[in-house]
């Protein structure tokens, strides 16, 4: 029950995040973690800041768990992750740290509006932090997801995402495409 959520979150994950997005009781979560650690499937990680986190022992294990999910279930898992992270973001106000994760999971979960909004927020944050490559990647994700929005929102978000691309310093053929857009 626990592994699909962890696998959808990626190679590394925080216990609190898994508990939150999966609505998993803490006692059950700790039992699952203990069993998975003993079997060598996951291991403790300190790469996630001040909170205790875990990594999959091998990325192949994570990939196997992830690919065993049916496509509809995988989409629902990502959608729930995006929605729960978005709730957390709304409660924290002025903390855009989660926006890129929300954009990623919302896109995989099929929530185009949330994906575009979160991608724009994360891309603008990337510009503020001088993370231009990340800002550009997120802006391009948002532009791709914009096509499914209603015309009024599509134009608004598309223009704001193009602005991010310009400020991030697009080069080559992509610059010509953005100029046309």
49: exposed, middle or buried (Cβ count in 10 Å: 0-12, 13-18, 19+): exposed
What pLDDT, in 10s, does the model give residues 137-164?
A: 999 999 999 988 999 999 999 999 999 9
Per-residue pLDDT averaged across 45-56, rounded?
76
Distance CA 136, CA 156 (A): 18
Residues 114 and 86: beta-carbon distance below 8 Å:
yes
pTM score > 0.95 for this model?
A: no
What pLDDT, in 10s, does the model give residues 98-147?
A: 899 999 999 999 999 999 999 999 999 999 999 999 999 999 999 999 98
Asked if residue 93 has pLDDT above 80, the reply is no
Residue 120 has a pLDDT of 96
Distance of CA 42 to the CA centre of its chain: 21
Residue 119 has a pLDDT of 97
Residue 136 has a pLDDT of 93
Residues 116 and 156: beta-carbon distance below 8 Å:
no
Distance CA 120, CA 140 (A): 10
Neighbours of 130 (CB within 10 A): 9
Q: Is pLDDT larger for residue 79 or for residue 15?
A: 79
Asked if residue 57 has pLDDT above 70, the reply is yes
13: exposed, middle or buried (Cβ count in 10 Å: 0-12, 13-18, 19+): buried
């Amino acid at each position: 029950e626990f592994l699909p959520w962890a696998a959808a979150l990626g190679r590394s994950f925080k216990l609190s995040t898994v508990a939150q997005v999966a609505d998993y009781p803490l006692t059950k979560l700790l039992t699952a973690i203990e069993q998975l650690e003993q079997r060598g499937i996951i291991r403790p990680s300190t790469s996630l800041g001040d909170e205790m986190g875990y990594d999959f022992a091998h990325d192949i294990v994570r990939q196997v768990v992830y690919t065993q999910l049916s496509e509809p279930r995988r989409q629902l898992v990502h959608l729930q992750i995006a929605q729960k992270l978005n709730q957390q973001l709304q409660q924290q106000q002025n903390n855009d740290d989660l926006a890129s994760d929300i954009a990623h999971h919302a896109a995989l979960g099929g929530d185009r509006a949330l994906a575009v909004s979160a991608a724009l927020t994360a891309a603008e944050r990337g510009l503020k932090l001088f993370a231009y490559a990340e800002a550009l990647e997120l802006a391009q994700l948002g532009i791709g997801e914009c096509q499914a929005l209603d015309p009024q929102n599509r134009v608004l978000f598309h223009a704001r995402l193009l602005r991010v691309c310009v400020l991030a310093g697009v080069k080559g053929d992509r610059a010509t495409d953005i100029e046309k857009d």
